[in-house]
Structure 1
Amino acid sequence: MSASPPSDPLAAGLAAASALQQRGDVAGARRALLDLLAAFPGHPSVHRALGLLAANTGARDEALRELRAAVAAAPGVASLQVELGSVLAHGGDFAAALPHFEAATRLQPGLALAWHLRGITLVRLQDDAAALPVLRRAHALAPDQTPTLLALAQAEFRSGFPADALPLWQEVRRRRPDAEAVLRLGETLSRMGRQDEAAALYRDALQRQGDDADLWMALAQGEEDEGHRDAAEAAYQRALALRPGWAFPLAGLLGLRRGKAAPEHVAAATARLGDDIPDPERALLGYELGKVHDGRGEYREAMARWDDANAARRRMIGDYDDGDIRARGEAIVADWPAQVFAAGPRPGHDPDPRPLFVVGMPRSGTTLTESILGAHPQVFGCGELAELGLVAALAPLRPGRARRWPPGPDDLHPDALAWAAPRWLEAATRRAPADALRLVDKSPLNFQLLGLAALLFPNARVVWCRRDPRDVAVSIYGENFSLDERFATRLEGIAGFINLEQRLMRHWQQVLPLPILELRYEALVTDVEAQVRRLIHFAGLPWDPACLDFHRSERGVQTPSRWQVRQPVHARSVGRWRNYEFALGPLLAALDDAPEGG
């Protein structure tokens, strides 16, 4: 809106009302504006002033009524759209706010604030995929705005772009060198496999900024990922000393020593579970205290702690839906018949022979398998890459196709493979030596996405790790898994996911052009050299005895198996389910196939 000259009675009236408001005379300001509205009926500037006055005094309904009137009177004014959207968003009505921010960016494409608010609103609506390009535009328009920089860094990281998030977090830390910026920067470095740099960052921050419990906690987790048990223990203890009763470092201390955990830590965790504590703390402490009892041979006590932890987790995230899992399996099988691959590679595929996907149920030996492969001098172990799942969630779709997970081949835009393959390769090669002949992605649940993997990389290989489902189930049930994995909180849910894995892997064996090696955990740990040689041969590599000494590796490990893979192969975990046979009825009743062996 153009400014009115000082002699304009409208401008004079608005200025007088503003002066009354600044002196604290809200009622007088409102009367003055109502008189002005009578003199200038329907004028957007007066409706705007009334709306902002109402918003400042908490009268949200009146604010919305007046701002909507202003927008109706002047729909082409971007600032009015922003103000109306802001009041809606401030009240939590993000879906209603979004169209106004979108309108503002159309009306005034150079208005950085509108792009920022549009991006933030999409984040609030949990649509990071749509938020990312919007926040990137906002940052490009106003790179000096720290709130936009912060929002973009968070969205880049959440969306699986840590390499893009890294320079943003580095700039956030430069502008605002507080503990939160250090923690987010360290988390990004860890996500990129640079755990040593993250730990160094935490140590430097602790020296510069003094004791901070959150920084000590992050350092403890970093030291644990790096295999430095004593250093991790010292850092957990310092975090706990700075924040007595904090569940996170207490759980970390229990997990480090398990059956040999210090009595005072066990007593503290037991006492905390006896209190009325929030479910996130109850779950965290329960999982780790159960491992302590398991390590001591107190199996009924362990199962009781895990039952309690998983009940708390279900209250947090909701319950497992077996019908949903079965429907997902049916959809994947229907979407990916053999005909999809019959015509050979699709346009946009990458013929790179380096990708090797290690899949299976969690706790089935995937980390062990990757560690063996990664000990070969011509192999790089990438860890659990999120990229295949991100590609499935973000890949361009054909016009008119609704987003679903995982997408079917007919959902994908013709350019999707050319977009997606470099994404995976960029993540896989981030720290890999240039001469690596194999890149090992050991994200276990990629067994749902092998059709997509075969389209992207028709020369890839797949290792399917298999293990007695009873041992798998006990190990999963007692582990603090991602909040996304509802199946892990019930034994029958774990059975349902095992059923899904079996169904899909048998399907992939029939339809995929990729070679698939079945690797049994029980055979691997009892006939080590023969199975390791078989694995290396399948990978198409010459034999190297370093693969038998994988436990000597100094590489970081960010999975629950981090301590097991730092030991020589052993068979102590085979048949562990027998300690919990008394509780496995729900599992056995829900499995489609009876376990092999007694």
Structure 2
Amino acid sequence: MQQTNTSMQIKQAIQASDFDRAISLAQEQLNDAPPEKQVEFLYLKAVAQRLSNDAQKATQTLDKLLELKPDHGRAYQEQGYCFIAMSLPDKAAAAFYQATRFNPALLTSWQQLQRHYAKTNNTAALNIASEQCRFLQHLDRPLAGAMDLMYEGQLHKAEQVCRQYLQKNKHHCEAMMLLAEIGIRLKVYHDAEFLLESCVELYPDEPRAAQAYQSLLLKLGKYPRALQIIQKQLDAGKSDRSLHLAWASALSGVGELEKAITVYRDVLSTNNDQPGVWLALGHVYKSAGQLENAIDAYHQAARFRPDFGDAYWSLANTKTYRFSESTIAAMYDIVQQESTHLDDRIHLYFALGKAYEDSGNNASAFACYNKGNQLKSRTLDLDIRRVERAMQSQQEACAASLFSQPVGYKAPDPIFIVGLPRAGSTLLEQILASHSQVDGTMELHDILGIASRISGQKTSYPYNLESLTDTQCQQLGELYIRQTEAYRQGAPYFIDKMPNNFIHIGLIKRILPNAKIIDARRDPFACCFSGFKQLFADGQEFTYSLDTIGRYYKGYVALMDHWHQVLPGQILTVQHEDVLDNLEVQVRRMLDYLELPFESACLDYHKTKRAIKTPSSEQVRQPIFQTGRHQYKAFIPYLEPLFNALGMRPEER
């Protein structure tokens, strides 16, 4: 409350042109506030400094802010104003451009860019800026405000404003799409999907609604449904680039990889200079096991856009590619350039970390991994204490008595593989998906969606699990089976490999009492360091700090111990190192637990042809190998925060 009051006082001082007082009040707060609380006061201080005609000091303040929060759109906008005051038009344009990248709702930044592009005769960029200006100027003020709040990370405030607007303007297309986007950012996917589906039905001629809906379906892995919507548009004669790219993505998702490759190739045939399309094509080649073609596509993406960080990271993420010394030098040069976008810098640092590690330069490798993680973590809103409380609440809410009388939908179909990322779950999935009676799918969001669906009740989740009626449990179990039908290929059993489902085992066993659960466990040091080195496409926010990943691992083990206690004999823990040491013993052990007959194909898992979309895709296409087992040992001098978080050191085990 004190911080809010002081913030208001600073704003009032700025409005009254009492800039010295505003700067003084902001500095008082900065002297006492921890780093995560400093961002707002640094921003207000910079505004006051610029308005007091000290743009030079304002830019120094903004540099400190952007070090703490490198994706702060308004800080870049303020930087742009400072550069204008300092008569540096090119630097100002670059700052306004960065502002619009992080917050596309900043109308004044777009207007500044519009003027700059008109002066420099950049017609293509001018058209984009002008179109965005028109869009924002015609947007009702509350929606423009909600959009701004969303991009600045104030999601709950944005949601509140948007819902209030919809109460007065029911079924407003733009408001529904915005509320859906807020829901996606809050990971309330079920609500977002319902909103966009309704929007498409209400406004069938609004292409942006259809595009947003199919994009969400693709994100959630609901490829068959996305394919239906896309096919309907294609049948109606629509044939633009974005629709074809969505089509290729959906085809890839349903396993029609060669057809997806053909569609991507057709898009590229009209214009080779499309680095994002080359990247997507590379991912499909990688999923199909065509590694040489994937590498070539990633090279093409980097050739057409030399600062494309994701192209370099995708090469590194094959786990087998080795960068040349000249490429490493070029990557390092790009990552140091001020004009390189934050997202590209993050990808480049992770790629450089892998490149230096492969060359044996562990000090430089860790420095790059660490920098990439720092930058990534500053763009996230993770409070590890909140995550730890969520795990603790599961233990409090789910006593053994909750499972004494099995209820729910009795289908035995699902096999859940849970655990931490980089713990060997992809290998276990590949082994089991090689069995004739088991379908491999992907990391499904459906359990997380069901948990979200029941979270809004009077009693909060997971404490409301006890109050779910037998009928409700039955219906939720049926809902899960119905929703996941689209990912299956006809086998009696299927795998859901969402690692985070370990938190929701209580929910799973309430609604699907016959589901099988395998806990993929790995040595804590190897698992945590492997996660720290990995840049994930989405989620897993806890991996971007040695401290948070160590605390998360510790909480995970404590929660799994609880599940074993209240659900004795119902969960199988498979230690990754045991699989490496004796594959057949562990394969037979898993199949016995699943009550499936032994099949030798499970031992020859690397010969199984299926699309694999996780970072381990190339590794599980090879026989068992030990090279990743002790990679963390070369980095022990740098891992003290991890050891402290875990409460143990390697030599103590």
TM bucket normalised to smaller = 0.7 to 0.9
Give the distance between the partners of 1:561 and 1:176, measured in 2 at CA. Answer: 37
Structure 1 length-normalised TM = 0.76
Matching residue within 562, 569, 578 for 1:523: 578
Give the distance between the partners of 2:485 and 2:377, measured in 1 at CA. Answer: 37
Query: How far 1:305 moved relative to its partner?
Result: 0.9
Q: How does 1:390-401 map to 2 (within 5 A)?
A: 390-395=449-454, 398=457, 400-401=458-459
Matching residue within 256, 281, 289 for 1:227: 289
- CA pair 239-452 structure 1, distance change in 2 beyond 3 A: same
Give the distance between the partners of 1:124 and 1:352, measured in 2 at CA. Answer: 34
In the alignment, which residue of structure 2 is the partner of 1:380? 439
Query: How far 1:458 moved relative to its partner?
Result: 0.8
Q: Which amino acid aligns with 1:447?
A: F
User: Is the deviation greater in 365-374 or in 276-285?
Assistant: 276-285
> Any conservation in 2 of the 1:115–1:135 contact (CA below 8 Å)?
no
Post-superposition Cα deviations, 1:203-233, rounded to whole Å, max 9, x if no partner, equal 2333466653222211011111222111011
2:180 corresponds to 1:88: no
In the alignment, which residue of structure 2 is the partner of 1:164? 225
2:363 corresponds to 1:308: no
In the alignment, which residue of structure 2 is the partner of 1:62? none
In the alignment, which residue of structure 2 is the partner of 1:298? 361
Give the distance between the partners of 1:156 and 1:452, measured in 2 at CA. Answer: 24
User: Is the deviation greater in 248-257 or in 274-283?
Assistant: 248-257
2:145 corresponds to 1:102: no
Q: How does 1:113-132 map to 2 (within 5 A)?
A: 114-126=171-183, 129-132=190-193
Secondary structure of the residue that 1:561 maps to in structure 2? Answer: coil
Alpha-carbon RMSD across the aligned residues, in angstroms, is: 2.9
> Any conservation in 2 of the 1:122–1:128 contact (CA below 8 Å)?
no
Give the distance between the partners of 2:551 and 2:379, measured in 1 at CA. Answer: 21
Give the distance between the partners of 2:371 and 2:364, measured in 1 at CA. Answer: 11
Give the distance between the partners of 1:475 and 1:362, measured in 2 at CA. Answer: 9
Query: How far 1:362 moved relative to its partner?
Result: 1.2
Query: How far 1:447 moved relative to its partner?
Result: 0.8
In the alignment, which residue of structure 2 is the partner of 1:420? 476
- CA pair 150-124 structure 1, distance change in 2 beyond 3 A: same
Secondary structure of the residue that 2:379 maps to in structure 1? Answer: helix
Post-superposition Cα deviations, 1:51-80, rounded to whole Å, max 9, x if no partner, equal xxxxxxx9xxxxxxxxxxxxxxxxxxxxxx
- CA pair 302-258 structure 1, distance change in 2 beyond 3 A: farther
Secondary structure of the residue that 2:416 maps to in structure 1? Answer: strand
> Any conservation in 2 of the 1:354–1:439 contact (CA below 8 Å)?
yes
> Any conservation in 2 of the 1:240–1:246 contact (CA below 8 Å)?
yes
Matching residue within 522, 542, 545 for 1:467: 522
- CA pair 338-208 structure 1, distance change in 2 beyond 3 A: same
2:304 corresponds to 1:242: yes
Secondary structure of the residue that 2:239 maps to in structure 1? Answer: coil
- CA pair 574-90 structure 1, distance change in 2 beyond 3 A: closer
Query: How far 1:464 moved relative to its partner?
Result: 1.3
- CA pair 262-315 structure 1, distance change in 2 beyond 3 A: same
- CA pair 273-455 structure 1, distance change in 2 beyond 3 A: same
> Any conservation in 1 of the 2:173–2:203 contact (CA below 8 Å)?
no
In the alignment, which residue of structure 2 is the partner of 1:328? 390
In the alignment, which residue of structure 1 is the partner of 2:627? 572
Secondary structure of the residue that 1:217 maps to in structure 2? Answer: helix
- CA pair 462-212 structure 1, distance change in 2 beyond 3 A: same
Query: How far 1:416 moved relative to its partner?
Result: 4.5
User: Is the deviation greater in 493-502 or in 198-207?
Assistant: 198-207
In the alignment, which residue of structure 2 is the partner of 1:555? 610
- CA pair 140-302 structure 1, distance change in 2 beyond 3 A: same
Give the distance between the partners of 1:576 and 1:495, measured in 2 at CA. Answer: 17
Post-superposition Cα deviations, 1:150-194, rounded to whole Å, max 9, x if no partner, equal 343344445664443332233455655333222333334444555
- CA pair 304-134 structure 1, distance change in 2 beyond 3 A: closer
Q: Which amino acid aligns with 1:561?
A: S
2:514 corresponds to 1:451: no
Query: How far 1:262 moved relative to its partner?
Result: 3.1
Give the distance between the partners of 2:319 and 2:225, measured in 1 at CA. Answer: 37
Q: Which amino acid aligns with 2:477?
A: A
> Any conservation in 2 of the 1:85–1:96 contact (CA below 8 Å)?
no
Give the distance between the partners of 1:546 and 1:556, measured in 2 at CA. Answer: 17
Secondary structure of the residue that 2:628 maps to in structure 1? Answer: coil
Q: Which amino acid aligns with 2:596?
A: L
Give the distance between the partners of 2:179 and 2:526, measured in 1 at CA. Answer: 42
In the alignment, which residue of structure 2 is the partner of 1:47? none
Matching residue within 300, 324, 346 for 1:283: 346
> Any conservation in 1 of the 2:437–2:493 contact (CA below 8 Å)?
yes
Give the distance between the partners of 1:381 and 1:156, measured in 2 at CA. Answer: 19
> Any conservation in 2 of the 1:337–1:511 contact (CA below 8 Å)?
yes
- CA pair 501-581 structure 1, distance change in 2 beyond 3 A: same
Give the distance between the partners of 2:182 and 2:321, measured in 1 at CA. Answer: 44
User: Is the deviation greater in 569-578 or in 407-416?
Assistant: 407-416
Query: How far 1:496 moved relative to its partner?
Result: 0.8
2:525 corresponds to 1:477: no
> Any conservation in 1 of the 2:190–2:449 contact (CA below 8 Å)?
no
Secondary structure of the residue that 1:463 maps to in structure 2? Answer: strand
Give the distance between the partners of 1:550 and 1:540, measured in 2 at CA. Answer: 19
In the alignment, which residue of structure 1 is the partner of 2:416? 357
> Any conservation in 1 of the 2:322–2:358 contact (CA below 8 Å)?
yes
- CA pair 331-163 structure 1, distance change in 2 beyond 3 A: same
Give the distance between the partners of 2:165 and 2:448, measured in 1 at CA. Answer: 32
Post-superposition Cα deviations, 1:336-374, rounded to whole Å, max 9, x if no partner, equal 1111111221xxx22111211111121111111111111
In the alignment, which residue of structure 1 is the partner of 2:208? 147
> Any conservation in 2 of the 1:387–1:424 contact (CA below 8 Å)?
yes
Matching residue within 258, 262, 265 for 1:203: 265
Q: Which amino acid aligns with 2:332?
A: T
Secondary structure of the residue that 1:464 maps to in structure 2? Answer: strand
Give the distance between the partners of 2:513 and 2:189, measured in 1 at CA. Answer: 30
> Any conservation in 1 of the 2:223–2:250 contact (CA below 8 Å)?
yes
Query: How far 1:506 moved relative to its partner?
Result: 0.6
Query: How far 1:135 moved relative to its partner?
Result: 4.0
Post-superposition Cα deviations, 1:482-514, rounded to whole Å, max 9, x if no partner, equal 453231011111111111110111111111266
Give the distance between the partners of 1:453 and 1:280, measured in 2 at CA. Answer: 36
Give the distance between the partners of 1:416 and 1:282, measured in 2 at CA. Answer: 48
> Any conservation in 2 of the 1:336–1:408 contact (CA below 8 Å)?
no
Give the distance between the partners of 1:338 and 1:550, measured in 2 at CA. Answer: 37
In the alignment, which residue of structure 2 is the partner of 1:271? 333
Secondary structure of the residue that 2:140 maps to in structure 1? Answer: helix
Give the distance between the partners of 1:195 and 1:374, measured in 2 at CA. Answer: 18
Residue correspondences, number:
501
Structure 2 length-normalised TM = 0.70
Post-superposition Cα deviations, 1:548-582, rounded to whole Å, max 9, x if no partner, equal 11011121111111111011012222222211111
Query: How far 1:519 moved relative to its partner?
Result: 1.1
Give the distance between the partners of 1:532 and 1:339, measured in 2 at CA. Answer: 32
> Any conservation in 2 of the 1:461–1:539 contact (CA below 8 Å)?
yes
Post-superposition Cα deviations, 1:113-161, rounded to whole Å, max 9, x if no partner, equal x442341242254365445444434433442332332343344445664
> Any conservation in 2 of the 1:451–1:512 contact (CA below 8 Å)?
no
Q: Which amino acid aligns with 2:522?
A: R
> Any conservation in 2 of the 1:116–1:134 contact (CA below 8 Å)?
no
Q: Structure 2 unaligned runs (5+)?
A: 1-107, 109-136, 148-157
> Any conservation in 1 of the 2:402–2:466 contact (CA below 8 Å)?
no
User: Is the deviation greater in 96-105 or in 238-247?
Assistant: 96-105
Matching residue within 371, 380, 397 for 1:317: 380
Give the distance between the partners of 2:527 and 2:586, measured in 1 at CA. Answer: 20
Greater Rg over alpha carbons, structure? 1
